[in-house]
Amino acid sequence: MERVPILKIGDILLVSIQLDMSDQTAVALQEDLAERIVATGCHGVIIDITALDIVDSFVGRMLSTIASISKVLDAETVVVGMRPAVAITLVELGLSLNGIRTALNVERGMELIAVDRVHDDQYEFEGGPDTEPLALP
């Protein structure tokens, strides 16, 4: 069975989906990812779907599940690289990827996660109602 590789870049796990997902690959990816998050202690997961021509309800649900699993393990999930045609199809079908954050490309996704971590740290240690939130770069 084919497996989706999971790459670690700094504090982030990068998953680039480049094959048609089946039930088995999806389940395997979820298990692998959960294990890697725990093993590495990463706080961010980026799922790159640039190579996907079709995102149907199955893939949508898989992304939602991965996001929920990561959330439980205190990691932020960002889906990046959705193609315009895919986005239009999803809208026309009325499918919305609830609870999933998106970014245009991997770079933006990493920025997004980095900013979130800075926010979290601030609120944990020096946060207060008067603290100015850091601006996006």
Partner 1 sequence: MALSADESSRLAELLTSRATQVTQRWTEVMAGQLRGRLSQAELVRQVQELHRALTDALGKGAADLTAEEATELRAVLAELSRGQARQGFSATETASSIFGLKDALLAELEADQSVGTLRDYVAFSGLVDQMGLFTFESFVRTRESLIADQAEQLLELSTPVVKLWEGVVAVPLVGTLDSARAQVVMERLLQTLVDTGSPYAIIDITGVPAVDTQVAQHILKTVVAARLMGADCIISGIRPQIAQTIVALGIEFGDIATKASLADALRHVLRLTGVETSRRQPRREA
Residues near partner 1, by CB under 8 A: 78-80, 82-84, 86-88, 90-92, 96-97, 101-105, 107-109, 135-137
| Separation of alpha carbons 87 and 102, rounded Å | 11
* For partner 1, the closer CB: 32 or 108: 108
Q: Can you tell me whether residue 35 is helix, strand or coil?
A: helix
Count CB neighbours of 111 within 10 A. Answer: 15
* For partner 1, the closer CB: 36 or 102: 102
Task: State which amino acid sits at residue 75.
Answer: A
CB of residue 104 vs partner 1: minimum separation in angstroms?
A: 5
CB of residue 14 vs partner 1: minimum separation in angstroms?
A: 15
Say if residues 74 and 50 touch (Cβ distance below 8 Å): no
CB of residue 43 vs partner 1: minimum separation in angstroms?
A: 19
| Separation of alpha carbons 9 and 134, rounded Å | 23
* For partner 1, the closer CB: 26 or 112: 112
CB of residue 112 vs partner 1: minimum separation in angstroms?
A: 8
* For partner 1, the closer CB: 48 or 75: 48
Integer Rg of the chain from CA: 16
